[in-house]
Amino acid sequence: MTPPPDLNVVEWAEKYRRLSRESSNGGKFVVSRVEVARGPMLWATEPGVRTITLMACTQLLKTTVIENIVGRFAHLDPCPMLLVFPKDDAAQTFSKDRLAPMIRDTPVLRTLFGEAKAKDAGATLDHKQFEGGHITLVGSNSPTNLAMRPIRLLGCDEIDKFPASAGGEGPPIDLAVERQAEFEANALTVLTCSPTIAGRSAIEASYEESDQRRAYVCCPHPGCGTWQSLEWDRVKFDKDPQDRILPETARYECTACEQPWTEAHRLVALRKVEWRQTRPFTCCGEYQTPERWGPEAHGVRRALCAHCGTEAVPNEHAGGVASKLYAPKQTITKTVAKFARALRRGPEALRTFFNTQLARTWKEGADTPEWQDVYARRDTYLTGTVSRGALILFGGVDVQKDRLEVTVWGFGRNRERWLVEHRVLPGDTGRAPVWAELAALFDETWEHETGTPMAVRDWGIDSGAFTAEVYAFVRSQAGRGNVHAIDGADSYAGAFLGVGAKDANAAGKKLRRGLKTIRIGVSFAKQEMMGCLALHRPPGGEAFPAGFVHLPRDVTEDGVKQLTAEELVVSTNRGRTRREWVPIGGRRNEWLDCANYARGLAAMRGWDRWREGHWRDLEAVLGIERQPTQEAIVPPVVAANTLATRDQQRRSVRRSRVTNRR
């Protein structure tokens, strides 16, 4: 009648777990050997946590955390469990090499599962029963096994190697999570993996959805004591005269005192690890990055609002990331040596280093800026207003089945542009009401900083998906003279590729006054946009760099994510190189598409080649008086009877003779 002891995963592992003789540390389990693993184990029993995501380097903590969670729940809180691996053979390998030895060498588990099953793991590789529950091990490519029975505890290892769909029935993780419906109140999901390609890494996407916990350690130097997460950017090393890395000079520098850490310093720092929530949040009407945390409980310090002090980040989805810098058995010197070797071997080896050693994703193709960096450099103006530098407006419209998405952009000198406003017009695009709402939007104006109302110069509507509806609407707006159907092309030749005629007579001849489409080089526009979004805000009052993209202060996170929603992937197939823009992590891209259409229209009107006189005319319309920045250039005076005057006389005589012959 005595209830089981109420122990968390760490307490259970240190009291009952015995490491197998196959392990490098056989005998009693001691979590302080890898202190960074303490937090993730405690999250399994943290009140409120339903999902744990571990994006970690190889051979650090992922598999051990899963083993101890399984052992603790099987012993103290028995329930049906499902462990999912990329393929069936990986599930069998885990069963034979990790699970069976843990049961064999941990007395409480050996008693629970039975002597026969502990010794004869081959007879029950994929299904192990115990009183009150069972453990099922399956491959992610089998939809039948994923949907076979209800489960409470779900563990998915190496999820970046899972197929996109299990037998055509959907993502394996989604199928497995559906099996937890009967245990919704106390279900737990554990997802682990080292990351892979940025934008296509499942573990990266899961971590982004979590509360983004990071491991902090304290600087061991006396008088400093700054808590910080260990980052690769703080690892320093010297080079020889041939620009080769010298691993023996590797050291870690504190973010505050900038004093180097020896390997002994690093090991001292790793004795105490604090996991803290780092996901940005909005509280008290202000967007904040966590700078205050509550006391440590259940292996984490919760983020607090800087104003009201409340716990501002929910903990339902706990996510952690850890690199080899937290591994006590691998020195910084060895990590830098691996980095130097990867640099010599090329991009593939470097990608492996980033994934397996730093627990960081690898970017392929063009550098699409991180949306967080773009979001952090917003301007001070608000949505719906036009900044002083924006002198002309262009609008882009993206057509979806259930809505129209409209963006207005302002363009100015120095190839700078300003996001003015983005609106969503909901409604079935196969019916008239939503198109009538768009037509009404065309009559609106936006107030310039000078107080002058501004109308959009040209509107462009994507005609790729709903061609008939768009063509019909553009024809109905022919009287405006500034509403165009957009035809996007995968071209890097330019933003504006010309005009295409769509209407023809019975003989097939194109009608000169028929419907025209504006051909836009969307690949060119995307590549230009990504490069411009990557520009940094200049310090102080310095001028903005050419091509800078200004975003309003109140732009949404989702909007910035959509502007940076695609990346350029370069692949080679049968000797032919292919460049393709692909979505990042399933993000929507309507904001980016609308920006491309507006950019193409600006190119059509000559934005790229306008001279100062044209900009002065636009400023005059807005009532902007611009002071001259330089003196007028006076042509040099040519002295009489010089060689220059004789050349001018000969050129004028030749022009006169040609005129007379005509």
CA 449/CA 440 separation, integer angstroms? 24
Non-local CB neighbours of 642 within 8 Å, separated by 6+ positions: none
CA 376/CA 551 separation, integer angstroms? 10
| pLDDT over threshold 60, residue 651 | no
Over its C-alpha atoms, the chain yields an Rg (Å, rounded) of 32
Q: How confident is the model at residue 577 (pLDDT cuts 50, 70, 90)?
A: low
pLDDT digits (tens, 9 = 90+) for 308-331: 999 999 999 999 999 999 999 999
pLDDT digits (tens, 9 = 90+) for 123-144: 467 888 888 899 999 998 877 7
pLDDT digits (tens, 9 = 90+) for 598-648: 999 999 999 999 999 999 999 999 988 765 544 444 444 444 444 344 444
Span 445-458, average pLDDT = 95
HSE of 294, CA atoms in CB hemisphere, 13 A: 15
CB 265 within 8 Å of CB 253: no
- Pairing mode of beta strands 188-193, 549-550: unpaired
What are the phi and psi torsion angles at 583 (to 5°)?
Answer: -65, 150
Q: How confident is the model at residue 541 (pLDDT cuts 50, 70, 90)?
A: confident
CA 70/CA 155 separation, integer angstroms? 9
How far the first Cα of the chain sits from its last, in Å, is: 119
| pLDDT over threshold 70, residue 118 | no
Task: Give me the residue spans of the domains in the chain.
Answer: 9-33+59-193, 213-358, 371-617
CATH class of this structure's domain 9-33+59-193: alpha beta
Which of helix, strand or coil describes residue 203?
A: helix
Which CATH number fits the domain 371-617, given the four candidates 3.30.420.240, 3.40.50.450, 3.30.1540.10, 3.30.43.10?
Answer: 3.30.420.240
pTM given for the model: 0.63
Task: Identify the residue whose tokens are 């692909």.
Answer: 582
Non-local CB neighbours of 620 within 8 Å, separated by 6+ positions: none
Q: Which two tokens stand for residue 360?
A: 């960081």
Among 23-37, 291-305, 409-423, 471-485, the least confident range? 23-37
